[in-house]
Chain A
């Protein structure tokens, strides 16, 4: 009964306040704040709260204040749906999520169904990191927008770089056992097979997601396979612990990764002593050389104590503001229409755009390696007090990242 009253009051506030400029824009942040994914989820939350503060300090969006509502989904799709419903009941019209494509797919389905059943109360899903390609291909939705390059785009760029590294002979694939990990392994096998047929795939491992606390059995297996290079999409503790076990066992290989820079990752890499042998693909690095981004990085680190690990979240929030201003409304339907095809100058410099066909954002992406920083003036930022930092080894321009989509978008 009490819940009902709260929900009813919340609903009334939303209805009554729709026209007033005082209404805050609530963004439901649905990500892990406990369990194995908590370390990345908490970093994301700090990032979004910082970005909301930044917007509010400059007058918010069209005069509305922005508020981040943290909702713990324990990296679990069912739990996420409960949290999403809770958010919607509390008057949230924008949800954002990133960790886990299994969760992402569930939320994408949720907003699609919710919006077709509740016209006038639409909810948008801003995706900042769930990169399973199917979310902008066969499962695509008009109400979903993705700011991170999808897994196939990243693998395309990564394999293009690996193509030019003749030292790579034997590759081992290790990934988390869910939709994203499976798409990484499939794409890696296919693309490496096309670009470097001489490379031998000596292992192809899927392990339980965010459940393994000791990776030494897996490391022993990699070692026994004789691999010289490991390709992995692991994130959060699954990356940090994998590298920690590699360091303990003294495994010396090259690592091609999606998310080596996540919490705990840099510390573990430093421990392995693999200088400039761990590569990461991302849409930005702290030492990008872009003045505005580096000033932002400095202030962000001072206030939150962590690095800017989600330049895409910065793009997401700033572009949200730009789209609302373009539409001159915070109504989700109008914002969605404004976002389609929108061009935007991204955080680390260069132009990106939100492709209308599948709501995938395209932007310059970078391959960087982790090691000691020679020129402190040009590359001032290290990670996790290791003294080592990321430097760019390759940049892929926006037009080089475009992959076709099979999305058949159903527009309202």
Chain B
């Protein structure tokens, strides 16, 4: 049992940190521009595919740096030539733009790399068990993923809270016109934030690609859960996104590990009732409903605390 708890905690934290890499960019972009970026998970996918392609050409380590930069550049281009032009038509137009972009990116990716998974492998240097607890190996690559996400988290926190750039970004979040009047180029700040947000998603893609599966539906698989994270954490709140990411990572992993069902708590139903929808509900285990738990959480949060865990405004 102790083994299961330790391994599940590690896996849960890892998945949570990966979610955070993605949701941090999404939530900052939202609070700054008021736009929910539907294409955010697509940048994650782009990161994975760029990472795969660059790894084939120049190796994993250069790809780890170059691929996120490339994705960041794509993100900035989207902001500069897409979102900024649609901005004057209101939020709905911007929303629709990102929505369309998500589909366009998916189609383009499957046109270039095909629809089945690509062979994106863990680099040989990191392909060994890092340590063994209770006879279970823990892969070194997963530890590497964890380290990268923690480093990024700290760097992000320091930049936002302790530097001048962070100060301007924070100011632009709440009072964009005041920041503009003070002589800062708010447009450029927006573009940079969008670029950095996309680059973070791209980085998540590069490191998650070899461990999960790199294929053209990976954005669609992860996208919905990102919205859960940022709504749950509070739209626009970075600490909220952090807590929500970890929580959802842990909930999903631990739910899989649990076997409990109504039948195991209250005992099996009287067999004379025969098979019916009731017996199905009675016997379904927590592990089986694990994938829907985050969405259940989303619904509950929206009903009882619409601003989310650490959010400040209701929207």
Contact = CB atoms under 8 A, between A and B. Distances in A.
A and B: interacting chains:
yes
Interface of A: 33-36, 38-39, 42, 177, 203, 205-208, 211, 213-214, 216-218, 220-221, 223-224, 237, 241, 248-251, 263-264
B42 interface: no
B277 to A, nearest CB: 15
Contact of A250 (B110, B129, B218, B252): B129
Interface in B197-234: 211-213, 215-218, 221
Given A33-B115, A241-B213, A217 B253 contact: yes
B212 A220 contact: no
B137 A249 contact: yes
B218 A213 contact: yes
Interface string B118-156: 000000000001001001111100100000000000000
B111 to A, nearest CB: 12
B73 interface: no
Contacts of A211: 221, 291
A38 B116 contact: yes
A177 B288 contact: yes
Contacts of A241: 213
Contacts of A205: 287
A213 B220 CA distance: 13
Contacts of A218: 256
Nearest to A35: B217
Contacts of A217: 8, 11, 252-253, 256-257
Interface residues of B, number: 35
A213 B291 contact: no
Contacts of B291: 208, 211
Contacts of A223: 3-4, 7, 135-136
Question: What 9 A-B pairs come out closest when comparing CB atoms?
Answer: A250-B137, A34-B115, A224-B4, A220-B7, A217-B256, A213-B212, A38-B116, A248-B139, A39-B116
Contacts of A33: 115
Interface in B72-124: 110, 115-117
B4 A221 contact: yes
B117 A214 contact: no
Contacts of A208: 291
Interface in B176-209: none
B1 interface: yes
B15 interface: yes
Given A38-B117, A206-B288, A224-B3, 18 more contacts: A34-B216, A203-B259, A206-B287, A207-B287, A213-B218, A213-B221, A214-B211, A216-B11, A217-B252, A220-B3, A220-B7, A220-B8, A224-B257, A248-B137, A249-B139, A250-B135, A250-B136, A250-B137
B221 A220 contact: no
Contacts of B256: 207, 217-218, 221
B28 to A, nearest CB: 26
Nearest to B115: A34
A38 B215 CA distance: 10
A213 B120 CA distance: 14
A223 B1 CA distance: 10
A35 B137 CA distance: 30
Contacts of B257: 217, 220-221, 224
Nearest to A40: B116
26 contacts: A34-B115, A36-B217, A38-B215, A42-B115, A177-B288, A203-B259, A206-B287, A207-B287, A208-B291, A213-B213, A214-B212, A216-B7, A216-B11, A217-B256, A220-B8, A220-B11, A221-B287, A223-B3, A224-B4, A237-B117, A248-B142, A249-B7, A249-B136, A249-B138, A250-B129, A250-B135
A220 B218 CA distance: 24
A353 B117 CA distance: 37
A228 to B, nearest CB: 14
Contacts of B117: 38-39, 237, 264
A201 to B, nearest CB: 12
